[in-house]
Amino acid sequence: MVNNMSKITSEFIAEIPKTDLHVHLDGSLRIPTLIDLAQSAGVALPSYTDEGLRELVFKDKYANLVEYLQGFGLTTSVMTNAEQVERVAYELAEDNFNEGVRYFEVRFAPQLHVTADFNLDQVLLAVNNGLAKATSDFNARNALIPADERGPDGHYGIIVCAMRNAMPVLSPYFQDVFRVHAYSTDRAVGSMTSLEMARAAVDIRDRLGIPITGFDLAGAEAGYPAVEHRDAFDYCHKNFLKKTVHAGEAYGPESIFQAITELHADRLGHGYYLLSPDKIVSRAIADPQDYVRRLSEYIADRRITIEVCLTSNMQTNPSITDLKHHAFGKMLKARLSTTLCTDNRLVSNTTVTREIQLAVDTFGIGPSELKDIIVYGFKRSFYHGSYNEKRQYVRSVIDYYEALERKHGIRHAPNT
């Protein structure tokens, strides 16, 4: 860590341009919207008040990742037609822009929203329509601000998620697959549908021009190794669709190794257990400490960025009794490329601003470190556009950030 030359204030954090590279659409609804959509669609909720849903479903602490994921059964049940999905997408984009997020990547599993009357194309079009309209509205307002004050325009990308496992209860889409492949297991169906999702993502990106910028693998890690989805990620790799993988969230370094070697991961979702040799289970790894050192050095050298979700990890991992014990501190010391994300704005009851504030307050982050983290978010994004366009956009972000540093009197400590 560096010594602060000046204090990073909450006002500064609120104003700086931010990213969210790891945010799930179906985990980020507004509670009033969830209630409204449920009542309109006749979907039963355990409560119809904000307080009741936060007490019963969207809690401050969960027993584990499985319990954390249960709320998605409610949110996906009210996202089964174009009007519903477009509204949720619009509001998520609006919430991001309202707190200074200028670039975000929305990830979701379209197969969880498919019905007999709502196919994959329509799901992705609805999401894009909502995001595009909110982005257009924001940029129109932004254009009215004097050029030397307004900062960069808003942009977004869409990440299609495959699921490590597939259970009939998850969606009608999976029910149909199980019906056709009567002898398949949830693991086999998960593998088959991940390849189908990869093909669909590339096809819709190219055919409809939707900014599908990445492909992800989500769901329970334990018992569902990433390597089972290699065909899907090979397909994305060959078709220049960038990859991010949920890895090291609830399993050890070996899961992260598979993500970067078997699935060609450009970024890592969570990566919490990257620096945990005690989580290694393979007997073939004779020296866990050396394995972790080599793995983390490789990730650092390749600048494979870790999408850090502080609040989410605290909620799903009972072993983290205090945020100061979160692995993010070790990641900073190892000089890994990291970016701070929400994971789920509703399920984790958080914002990007809050995640940054938590990191600054807990880990003693100085101005130089904070600037690196913010800029990594833009640089390591799966930006929809040419490389030169991305460079120009990142340059505009840096220029605006530095102008805000001057405005708030933020000075950097000298290099040591």
Q: Which domain CATH number covers 314?
A: 3.20.20.140
Residue 308 located in a structural domain: yes
Determine contact, residues 219/194, Cβ cutoff 8 Å. Answer: no
Residue 172 located in a structural domain: yes
Residue 381 located in a structural domain: yes
pLDDT of residue 168: 64
Residue 142 located in a structural domain: yes
Q: What Cα–Cα distance (Å) separates residue 338 from each residue in 96, 300, 359, 379?
A: 19, 10, 12, 11
- Low-confidence stretches of the chain (pLDDT < 50) are 1-4, 416
Determine contact, residues 244/271, Cβ cutoff 8 Å. Answer: no
> What DSSP string describes 173-197?
HHHHHHHHSTT--HHHHHHHHHHHH
249 classed as catalytic: yes
Residue 177 located in a structural domain: yes
Q: How far apart are CA 17 and CA 116, in angstroms?
A: 41
Q: How far apart are CA 416 and CA 410, in angstroms?
A: 18
Q: What would the pLDDT profile of 83-93 be if each residue is shown by its tens digit?
A: 999 999 999 99
Determine contact, residues 123/113, Cβ cutoff 8 Å. Answer: yes
Q: What Cα–Cα distance (Å) separates residue 272 from each residue in 104, 308, 313?
A: 21, 8, 8
Residue 415 located in a structural domain: no
Contacts 24+ apart (CB under 8 A), 67-70: 67/316, 68/312, 68/315, 68/316, 68/347, 69/220
Q: What Cα–Cα distance (Å) separates residue 357 from each residue in 282, 344, 407?
A: 37, 17, 19
Closest to 13 measured CA to CA, from 101, 141, 97:
101
pTM above 0.85, yes or no: yes
Residue 3 located in a structural domain: no
pLDDT of residue 388: 98
Domain count, the chain: 1
Q: What would the pLDDT profile of 292-301 be if each residue is shown by its tens digit?
A: 999 999 999 9
Backbone angles phi, psi at 146, to 5 degrees: -50, 140
Hey, is 18 helix, strand or coil? Answer: strand
Q: What would the pLDDT profile of 321-366 be if each residue is shown by its tens digit?
A: 999 999 999 999 999 999 999 999 999 999 999 999 999 999 999 9
Q: Kind and range of the H or E element at 295?
A: helix 288-301
Determine contact, residues 11/329, Cβ cutoff 8 Å. Answer: no
pLDDT of residue 68: 80
Residue 384 located in a structural domain: yes
Residues of the domain holding 130? 10-408
Task: Enumerate residues 6+ apart whose C-beta is below 8 A from 168.
Answer: 174, 175, 178
Catalytic: which of 105, 221, 228, 249? Answer: 249
C-alpha distance across the termini of the chain, in Å: 11
